[in-house]
Amino acid sequence: MTPTAAAAIERSDVILESGAGLETWLERPLQTIGGVGKVRDMSVGVHLRAPDDPSASEEVDPHYWLTATNAIRMVENVRDALSATRPDLAGNFADRAAAYVTRLKAADTQIRQLMEEIPASRRGIVTNHDAMAYFVAAYGLHFVGSVFPSMDVSSEPDPAQLARLADTIRSAGVTAIFSESAVNPKLAKAIANETGAHVVAEPLYTDSLGPPGSGADTLDGMLLHDAQVIHDALISGG
Give residue 150's pLDDT band: very low, low, confident or very high (50, 70, 90). low
Judged against a pLDDT cut of 70, whether residue 151 lies above it is answered with no
Q: Give the predicted TM-score (pTM) of the model.
A: 0.88
Judged against a pLDDT cut of 90, whether residue 184 lies above it is answered with no
Percent of the chain with pLDDT over 90: 57
Judged against a pLDDT cut of 70, whether residue 79 lies above it is answered with yes
Lowest mean pLDDT among 93-102, 160-169, 222-231: 160-169
What DSSP state is assigned to residue 118?
S
Q: What does the pLDDT read at residue 154?
A: 57
Q: Are 40 and 93 in contact (CB under 8 A)?
A: no
Give residue 131's pLDDT band: very low, low, confident or very high (50, 70, 90). confident
183 or 212, which is more confident: 212
* Alpha-helical regions (H) of the chain: 3-11, 27-33, 68-85, 90-116, 133-138, 159-172, 186-195, 219-235
CATH architecture of the domain with range 45-238: 3-Layer(aba) Sandwich (3.40)
Residues of the chain with CATH 3.40.50.1980: 45-238
Instruction: Find the farthest-apart pair of alpha carbons in the chain and give their distance in angstroms, rounded.
Output: 60
- The CA-based angle 221-222-225, given to 5 degrees, is 85
